Amino acid sequence: MLDLTGKNALVTGIANNRSIAWGIAQQLHKAGANLGITYLPDEKGRQEKKVKELVEPLNPSLFVPCNVQDDAQIQATFDTIRETWDKIDILIHCLAFAGKEELSGDFSNTSREGFTRALDISSYSLVSLAAAAKPLMTEGGSIVTLTYLGGVRVIPNYNVMGIAKAALEMNVRYLAAELGPQNVRVNGISAGPIRTLASSAVGGILDMIHHVEEMAPLRRTVTQTEVGNTAAFLCSDLSSGITGQIIYVDSGYCIMGM
Ligand code: NAD
């Protein structure tokens, strides 16, 4: 049975009720996990208010700001975890960012600044969060990140985010090799396209969604709940032999040869 009772789970990347991280948080809660939620702070405190209201029904025992570009905020997040929880069992890395100007047109127009920022937020952040979680995963654990087919194939307009996802998927393998002896598993979910704040920045995303609806074996896109269910599985003992893998939750689209 899928049971996460007694597990402390930190979920990053909830911006609103369309966020994949929201789908994951709901499924972890349903399976009995004790939740900690991070949000991306802004000057006016809007995100804090919005995310706080959204997650309230899940009764999180931690709610902390964490901009992954800021080492001090990462440190503060894990200091709070150490003081409040003592240990952490689950880390959900469900965030990414690239400037809108980098997500359409010629890939070769990617600026040095845009490249660095996309790789820093979308890929390096998994390394820094895993490093902070490592000493607190004293009873083993599971780390799950979100990736996309654009990290292994060329998808129109995905551009620099594809490079970030390729790097992210290698992060999964290197971290899995390092943390395995500590019984910490690290896996990625490659989700099919879903309408969210982040995906709306990618040029032509609606065309991609319609293409998946026509071509994928299941003839539809996937939902946040389906991704959430897979994340819950990857965080549970049911997947105890799985690490270093990228699991596709994409209605089977990636097997097609068109
Ligand atoms: P989303 O916009 O709901 O989530 C993106 C999150 O990243 C937001 O919560 C945002 O606050 C956070 N974020 C951005 N910069 C940050 C920073 N510096 N520090 C901390 N958090 C930051 O969109 P989503 O589609 O749910 O994206 C979640 C993950 O899923 C991303 O890694 C995305 O690439 C991946 N993904 C999305 C799709 C899709 O089609 N939506 C498909 C495959 C993979």
Per-residue pLDDT tens over the stretch 170-182? 999 999 999 999 9
In the chain, the number of structural domains is: 1
pTM for the model: 0.98
ipTM passes above 0.95: yes
AA identity, residue 21? A
| Residue 258 token pair | 């068109």
Q: pLDDT tier at 258 (50, 70, 90 boundaries)?
A: confident
Q: Torsions phi, psi of 238, nearest 5?
A: -60, -20
* Residue 229 in domain: yes
Share of the chain above pLDDT 70, in %: 100
* Residue 2 in domain: no
* Residue 3 in domain: no
Burial category of 213 from C-beta neighbours within 10 Å (exposed 0-12, middle 13-18, buried 19 and up)? middle
Q: pLDDT tier at 1 (50, 70, 90 boundaries)?
A: confident
* Residue 24 in domain: yes
* Residue 254 in domain: no
Coil/strand/helix, residue 178: helix
* Residue 237 in domain: yes
Among candidate residues 39, 124, 158, 253, the one labeled active-site is: 158
* Residue 204 in domain: yes
Per-residue pLDDT tens over the stretch 241-257? 999 999 999 999 999 99
Domain of 35? 8-249
Among candidate residues 39, 124, 148, 253, the one labeled active-site is: 148
* Residue 123 in domain: yes
Catalytic, 148? Answer yes
Lookup result for tokens 């290698």:
170
Q: How far away, in angstroms, is 172 Cα from ligand 1 center?
A: 17
CATH of the domain at 209: 3.40.50.720
